[in-house]
Structure 1
Amino acid sequence: MEILDILIIGAGPIGLNCALEAEKNKLTYLIVEKGTIVNSLYNYPLYMRFFSTAEKLEIAEIPFISPAPKPGRQEALEYYQGIARQKNLNINLYEKVLHVNKNEGIFDIETSKAKYRAKNVIISTGFYDIPNLMNIPGEDLSKVKHYYTEPYPYAQQKIVVVGSSNSAVDAALETYRKGAEVTMIIRHSEISKSVKYWVKPDIENRIAEGSIKAHFNSELTAITENSVIFKNENGEITEIENDFVLAMTGYLPDFDFLRNSGIDLLGDCLNPSYHPETMETNVSHLYLAGVVCGGKDTHLWFIENSRIHAEMIVNNILKSTIKNEL
């Protein structure tokens, strides 16, 4: 069996960037992705726009041309999938990595379809695949959605949106404008300060005028077929009629996979252990790239500030290779 220089887990923007950097330095590599190319972006809301401008989303100095100041989901899909196609990157799609084990200096990687061997492994799996569950009665009902794509299914329905981040605010505004009766349940005392600056006044004005109801300092406690139950900061319980719950409570990396790969997870936020200058974890030659580095602090890393990980990792691999050859 061929021993690859690098096996990359995840074909998101940063995984693609790692592959381009490997190819530039004539290292053998393979990307293994459990979905499609930039799978997380594919699952974003259909009309989502990035906070970053196009040039901040570029990889490998390949221009990202967008007619709008902030590119949207479809433009990003075209850009990243176009790069994979034009550069003919080595990618296996719809293949999930199950285990990563290191034996005598070489990684054995088992997937849902095959087995591979590699000198180095880069985990660039993001965090969008596992919802941050509320763990309340009724969360498993079919009316509860942890992913939001478009507003049309919710026209003329009673919607509860849980959260106050960008995803929650977008869902609330879009469903409201398609005729939904929208109620937001928000743990904090205000809309998140991280909400896109051109959207924040819109949601605040809709709440102020009563078009969208908002219960601040409140927490959802139970979901039934026809209602939801929540409590406020004073412990007062309220039940309201409800057709759908959009639980925009965030997402988490696959901590079990990281832990089973030998990576130490530190503190309450389960931050993976890695060297900030090389991105190498406590397992030698096993690297992290992109937003997976943040643990539960999923707001720390995004495309714009983690594009540099690819060059950092490949440079360290090259230095290690030269050192071993001396």
Structure 2
Amino acid sequence: MYDLIIIGGGPIGLACGLEAQTAGLNYLILEKGCLVNSLYNYPANMTFFSTSDRLEIGDVPFVSNNAKPTRSEALEYYRRVALHRKLNMKLFEEVDNISPKSDGIYTIHTKKASYETKNIVIATGFYDIPYLMNVEGENLPKVTHYYEEPHFYALQKVVVVGANNSAVDAALETWRKGAEVTMIIRDAGIGNRVKYWAKPDIENRILEGSIKAYYHSEVAEIRENEIDIKTPEGIVTIENDYVIAMTGYQPNLNFLRKIGITLSADEIMKPTYDDETQETNLPNIFLAGVICGGMNTHSLFIENSRIHAVKIIEKIVNSQ
């Protein structure tokens, strides 16, 4: 029996664990992958937009070599926080379902065990389910929705789908390692949210012709050695070795719906919760982090979600 179980071992899940620990609660963090699994799956050379102080949790200082930390520095920081504070975690244990009992206790079922708890925090982020292009050939081995590092693509013909930060990073890095890069962009240009130091770089590479870009375009079909691009002028076919589809990701809202959390009826599908306590329409089940925004995944970040942990633990302690 736990006072609190936290589903999700990302930065905000860890922040909830730190607050629970400080409050003297008997808690457990369940993570379906490795520690801070979403950050682990970020591109190897990624630099955060936020400064290191805005990524801190539990009043533990985050010192980085530069103002904006890298992925490797963030992994090191959150790992050290978890180890130093001895957070109670179980990794690689995915939650399948949550079922209520008549006495107000919840049973959490994972692929390995079952646990009982009085309170639940769901902090599962949004990096697990990619938006699919829904085109023929998307399931070929040459297609990926997760970009790791550029060396693999050296001397290859690479298509990058998308125009935001992940797509820009993939296009620039692979081009600099010797790939022949083509970008397929649905809108009229590079996204406005692209990091300020990367946006002029990619725009200049496109302008000079080093990287080819098709605007107002989308993928029509992918084949083993070619790709069809639907452009305003018609279908264009180019030779292709690999497709990096940086089409974005979405939270697992079906899981929330399955356990009984209501979602808004519009396309945002924002979950129902109290802004003051983060409590959902289900008693003693709370939401923390980017999942609170539903499909609007760009409204919440580590830096403006850390407060969720404080509000949730305060509500739990005051309710005891």
In the TM superposition, residue 7 of structure 1 has moved relative to its aligned partner by: 0.3
Task: Output the CA distance in 1 between the equivalents of 2:223 and 2:38.
Answer: 30
In the TM superposition, residue 257 of structure 1 has moved relative to its aligned partner by: 1.2
**One-letter amino acid of the counterpart of residue 183, structure 1:** T
CA-to-aligned-CA distance 1:260-316 (integer Å, 9 cap, x gap): 121112121221111111111111111111111122111111101101000011111
Alignment of 1:43-192 (within 5 A): 43-104=41-102, 105-192=104-191
Of 97-106 and 76-85, more deviation after overlay is shown by: 97-106
**TM-score, L = length of structure 2:** 0.98
Query: Where in structure 2 are there 5+ consecutive unaligned residues?
Result: none
User: What is aligned with 1:258?
Assistant: 256
Task: Output the CA distance in 1 between the equivalents of 2:280 and 2:220.
Answer: 38
In the TM superposition, residue 160 of structure 1 has moved relative to its aligned partner by: 0.5
**One-letter amino acid of the counterpart of residue 56, structure 1:** R
Task: Output the CA distance in 1 between the equivalents of 2:100 and 2:250.
Answer: 25
SS at the partner of 2:237? strand
Of 157-166 and 293-302, more deviation after overlay is shown by: 293-302
**TM-score, L = length of structure 1:** 0.96
User: What is aligned with 1:246?
Assistant: 244
User: What is aligned with 2:9?
Assistant: 11
SS at the partner of 1:312? helix
Task: Output the CA distance in 2 between the equivalents of 1:278 and 1:232.
Answer: 48
SS at the partner of 2:32? coil
Task: Output the CA distance in 2 between the equivalents of 1:265 and 1:180.
Answer: 43
**One-letter amino acid of the counterpart of residue 27, structure 2:** Y
RMSD: 0.9
Task: Output the CA distance in 2 between the equivalents of 1:306 and 1:138.
Answer: 38
Correspondent of 1:32 among 30, 33, 40: 30
- Count of paired positions: 318
In the TM superposition, residue 217 of structure 1 has moved relative to its aligned partner by: 0.8
Give the ranges of 4+ consecutive aligned residues of structure 1 lying more than 4 Å apart after TM superposition.
none
Task: Output the CA distance in 2 between the equivalents of 1:25 and 1:137.
Answer: 53
Sequence identity, in percent?
A: 58
SS at the partner of 1:18? helix
SS at the partner of 1:307? helix
Query: Where in structure 1 are there 5+ consecutive unaligned residues?
Result: 322-326
User: What is aligned with 1:289?
Assistant: 288
User: What is aligned with 1:226?
Assistant: 225
User: What is aligned with 1:316?
Assistant: 315
**One-letter amino acid of the counterpart of residue 150, structure 1:** E
SS at the partner of 1:272? coil
